[in-house]
Amino acid sequence: MHTESNTTDVSAELERFTRACREKGTPVTHQRLAVYRVLLESVAHPDADTIFKQLRPQHLALSPATVYNTLELLEGLGLVKKVGSPGTSRRFDANRHPHHHLWCERCHSLTDVEFDAMPAVSLPPGVDFEVSDYTIQFSGLCAQCKDAGPASPFTTGDTR
């Protein structure tokens, strides 16, 4: 089992995105490339708002709509996936290698976990459903939160 791996060749992935956009007739802008770069370089699975706040100082013309639209474009091209995280906005993952997630219930960190062999999961007999993909999300406390002791009942834990 491995966590926090990010061995993505960012330049190659940006070039792949550029080719995919050109094939669709979609303009390749520095803003779209910047949004994708943030996702490629991040292991935190950022949401649209986090990406916007990170890029805004360098891209003054960037709007939240551009970030949202770019994320939808990237998802439509199969370059990123939406990742569900309880109680928060949708986050995005550019890691297309088979993996699962560790969700910290206190600090809301979302960490990739890769297994040497993916766990086998099958549906119960009689369920008529063709599975194309699946992910497992483990919920609990990350090492830092576990070591910090019990949470106060008044702590939200949202550190985004």
Cβ atoms of 110 and 45 within 8 Å: the answer is yes
Q: Which of these, 89, 90, 123, lies nearest to 81 by C-alpha position?
A: 90
Helix (H, G, I), strand (E, B) or coil at 115: coil
- pLDDT of amino acid 65: 97
Greatest alpha-carbon span in the chain: 55
Tell me the Ramachandran region of residue 127: left when phi exceeds 0, alpha when psi lies from -120 to 50, beta otherwise.
Answer: beta
Task: Give the domains, in start order, of the chain with CATH numbers.
Answer: 7-82 (1.10.10.10)
**What is the pTM assigned to this prediction?**
0.79
- pLDDT of amino acid 114: 83
Question: In a structure prediction context, what are the per-residue pLDDT tens digits for the chain, which is 160 residues long?
Answer: 445 545 579 999 999 999 999 999 999 999 999 999 999 999 889 999 999 999 999 999 999 999 999 999 999 999 999 987 776 678 999 998 888 889 898 988 888 888 777 667 889 999 999 888 788 888 999 999 989 877 655 455 544 4
- pLDDT of amino acid 159: 47
- pLDDT of amino acid 2: 45
**Residue 140 C-alpha from the chain's centroid:** 18
